[in-house]
Structure 1
Amino acid sequence: MTVTASLISFLIAISLLTVTPGLDTALVLRTAATEGPGNALRAALGINVGCLMWGAAVAFGAGELLAASELAYTALKWAGAAYLCWLGAQMLLRPRTGFELDAKPGGKDGARRNAAQNRMPGAAGVPGGRTRWFLRGLLSNLLNPKVGVFYISFLPQFVPAGEPVVPYTFGLSAIHVAVGVVWCGSLILATRPLGHLLRLPRVVKALDRITGAVFIGFGIKLALSRR
C-alpha cells in the first residue's frame, strides 16, 4: 500500500466514523443547544485534544512494540481484525433506530436518561468557568477506553510498509483530529437542522449499517494483510 492510498483510505474511513452519531456528537450538539456555541466549541476542543492524546499514546506505545516484535504485530493484527469485524457486525445487524440528544423531563425514561447523562465521563467533578466545558469534552474522551482500543485496532493497518511506525501513526491521529474539528464546527453552526436529522430513525440506521459494513471490510483487509 502506497502512502497516497493509505491516506485516502484512512480519510474516507475516519470521516465516516466521525459523522456517525456517538457520545462526542451528542455532547457537542447538547452543549451548543443549551449552553451556546462558545461552550460547545470548548467542549469540542477538549474532545479533539483527547483524541490527540490517545493517538500519541498508541503511536509511542504500541508503535514501538509493533516495530520491534513480529509476534506482537501478528497478535495485534488478529485481535484488531476480530474487534473491527465484531464492531461492524453489531452496527450492521443491530443498527440503532434513534439518537437521543437530550432527555425529556418527567417519566421513568427521562429519569433514566438523566441519570445516564450524570454518569457520563466528565459530566461532573470539573471546575467551573470557561475551562469547565473543555475539561468535560477532554475527560469524556480520555475516560473512554473504547477510544484507545479502537485506535490500537484501527491505526496500524494504515501504516504502509517501510514507513516509520511512530510518526506515521501519530500523523493519522492528527488527521482524525482535523476531521473532528471540521465536523464539530459544522455541528455547532447547524445545531438545529443536524440535531433534527440525527433523530430520524432511517438516518441513524443507514449510518450505522454503512459504517458497520466499512468496519467489516477493514477487519477482513487487516486479517489478510502482510507486514
Structure 2
Amino acid sequence: MDGQLITFTGVAAGMVAMPGADFAVVVRNALDSRRAGVAAAVGVAGGLLVHTALAVAGLAAVLVAVPALFGAVQLLGGAYLLYLGIRALVAVRRPAAAGSSTGSAATTRPDGAVLDPAVRLGTAQSLRQGFLTNALNPKAPVLFLSLLPQFVPAGQPALPRTLLLATMVVAMALVWFPAVALLVDRLGIWLRRPQVARALEAVTGALLTALGGILLVELALA
C-alpha cells in the first residue's frame, strides 16, 4: 500500500472541497440551472487541469520566479473575481421577475421557481466562468508546485508520479464540483425561493468580491 498516495488523496480532497471562489461560482450558476451549474463545475476542473499541467511541465516555476508575470496573473484573477462578485450583488438588487410587469416572459421551473430570462446564464458562459475563476487563481501554481514534489518517493521517476497526482486532483474536481451543482439543483425548490435565492446570491457575490479585493490588495502591498 502506497502510504504517500493515500496521504495525498486526503490532502487533495480537502484542497478541492475547501469552499472558495470555485465553490461560489458553481453554486451561483447551479441556482440558475442544473446545466449552468454542471458547466461551471466542468470549467473549474478545466482550470485545475491547466494548473496541474503547468506544474508537471515545470512552467509553474517560471511563473513564480518572474514577479511581473505572477503579478499580472494576480491582477487578472482579482479583477475577474471582483467583476463576478459585483455582478452578483447588482443582480440581487434587480426587481424579482415574478413581480415585474414582464413576468409573463419569465421561465417557470418544475419546482415552481420563476427565472428571469434576462439573468439566465448560457452553458458556454457558465463554462467560461468556472474555467477563468480557477485558471486565473495566482496561488494555485504555487500550491501545486510546492505540493506535488512532496509526494514523489525518492528514487522514483518524477514525471509519471506527478502525472498520476495531477490526474487525481482533476478527477476529484470532476466528481466534487458537479456533485455540488447537482445538490444545489436538487434542493432548488427551497434554494430558488425568491428570498433564499437572493440571500445566496448576495452571499456568493460578497464572497467573490472579497476574494477579488484581497488579491488586488495583496498585489498593491507587494
- In the superposition, the TM-score normalised over structure 2's length comes to 0.55
Q: Secondary structure at the match of 2:148?
A: coil
Separation in 2, partners of 1:48, 1:60: 18
For residues 77-96 of structure 1, what are the structure 2 equivalents within 5 Å? 77-90=70-83, 91=85, 95-96=89-90
For residue 186 of structure 1, report the CA deviation from its aligned partner.
Answer: 1.8
Q: Which residue of 1 aligns with 2:148?
A: 163
For residue 94 of structure 1, report the CA deviation from its aligned partner.
Answer: 7.9
| 8 Å Cα contact 2:81/2:133 also seen in 1 | no
Equivalent in 154, 171, 176 of residue 179 of structure 1:
176
Q: Does 1:214 align with 2:211?
A: yes
Q: Which amino acid aligns with 2:197?
A: R
Equivalent in 185, 197, 220 of residue 199 of structure 1:
197
Q: Which amino acid aligns with 1:86?
A: A
| 8 Å Cα contact 1:80/1:219 also seen in 2 | no
Q: Compared with structure 1, are the counterparts of its residues 205 and 180 closer, same or farther at alpha carbon in structure 2 (3 Å cutoff)?
A: same
Q: Compared with structure 1, are the counterparts of its residues 116 and 181 closer, same or farther at alpha carbon in structure 2 (3 Å cutoff)?
A: closer
Unaligned runs of 5+ in 1: 29-39, 123-138
Separation in 2, partners of 1:94, 1:53: 23
For residue 81 of structure 1, report the CA deviation from its aligned partner.
Answer: 1.7
Q: Secondary structure at the match of 1:22?
A: helix
Percent identity, please. 12
Unaligned runs of 5+ in 2: 1-7, 107-115, 150-161
Equivalent in 25, 28, 32 of residue 22 of structure 1:
28
Q: Deviations over 1:7-30 (max 9, x none)?
A: 75664343x6424553343121xx
Larger CA Rg, structure 1 vs 2: 2
Q: Secondary structure at the match of 2:92?
A: coil
Q: Deviations over 1:76-109 (max 9, x none)?
A: 4212321233245443698235299x96697399
Q: Which amino acid aligns with 2:136?
A: S
Separation in 1, partners of 2:61, 2:178: 33
For residues 1-227 of structure 1, what are the structure 2 equivalents within 5 Å? 8=14, 11-14=17-20, 17-20=22-25, 21-28=27-34, 48-60=41-53, 64=57, 66-67=59-60, 69=62, 74-90=67-83, 91=85, 95-98=89-92, 107=102, 110=105, 114=117, 121-122=122-123, 139=124, 141-142=126-127, 144=128, 146-154=129-137, 155-159=140-144, 161=146, 163-164=148-149, 171-196=168-193, 197-200=195-198, 202-217=199-214
| 8 Å Cα contact 1:55/1:170 also seen in 2 | no
For residue 52 of structure 1, report the CA deviation from its aligned partner.
Answer: 3.2
Q: Which residue of 2 aligns with 1:35?
A: none
Q: Deviations over 1:174-221 (max 9, x none)?
A: 444333233223223311101115433x44223321332234335666
| 8 Å Cα contact 1:59/1:169 also seen in 2 | yes
Separation in 2, partners of 1:193, 1:162: 39
- In the superposition, the TM-score normalised over structure 1's length comes to 0.54
| 8 Å Cα contact 1:51/1:173 also seen in 2 | no
Q: Which amino acid aligns with 1:156?
A: P
State the superposition RMSD in angstroms.
4.7
Separation in 2, partners of 1:51, 1:60: 14
Moved more, 188-197 or 89-98: 89-98
Q: Secondary structure at the match of 2:201?
A: helix
| 8 Å Cα contact 1:82/1:219 also seen in 2 | yes
Q: Compared with structure 1, are the counterparts of its residues 103 and 121 closer, same or farther at alpha carbon in structure 2 (3 Å cutoff)?
A: same
